Amino acid sequence: MIILSRALEKAGAKTITVTKTITVSDLLAELKLSDTHVVLVEGKKADLETELNEDDKVVVLPIIAGGQV
């Protein structure tokens, strides 16, 4: 199951279910998202080559930046 951040949901994204093993990179491409998004699998940051399985809980978040130092 893929869970997108509220910001992405507001942009029209949906919760989807992965029915085959794919990589994080494949998922981002399928969702038409850049590889600059942060992807968490089972609560841990995943790299682009991490394989996703049908039962994985995945969260996709945009990079957040801003403010002044």
Which residues in 10-40 are b (16+ Cβ under 10 Å) and which e? eeebeeeebeeebebebbbeebebeeebebe
Domain at 14, CATH number: 3.10.20.30
Specify the pLDDT at position 53.
Answer: 87
Flag whether 56 is in a domain: yes
Which tokens hold the place of 59?
């969260």
Does residue 54 surpass a pLDDT of 90? no
Output the six-digit token pair for 29: 């491409």
Any domain includes 30: yes
Q: Give percent above pLDDT 90 in the chain.
A: 25
Task: Tell me 37's DSSP state.
Answer: S
Residue 8: band (very low, low, confident or very high) from pLDDT cuts 50, 70, 90: low
How many domains in the chain?
Answer: 1
Q: Which domain holds residue 53?
A: 2-61
- Domain membership flag for residue 69: no
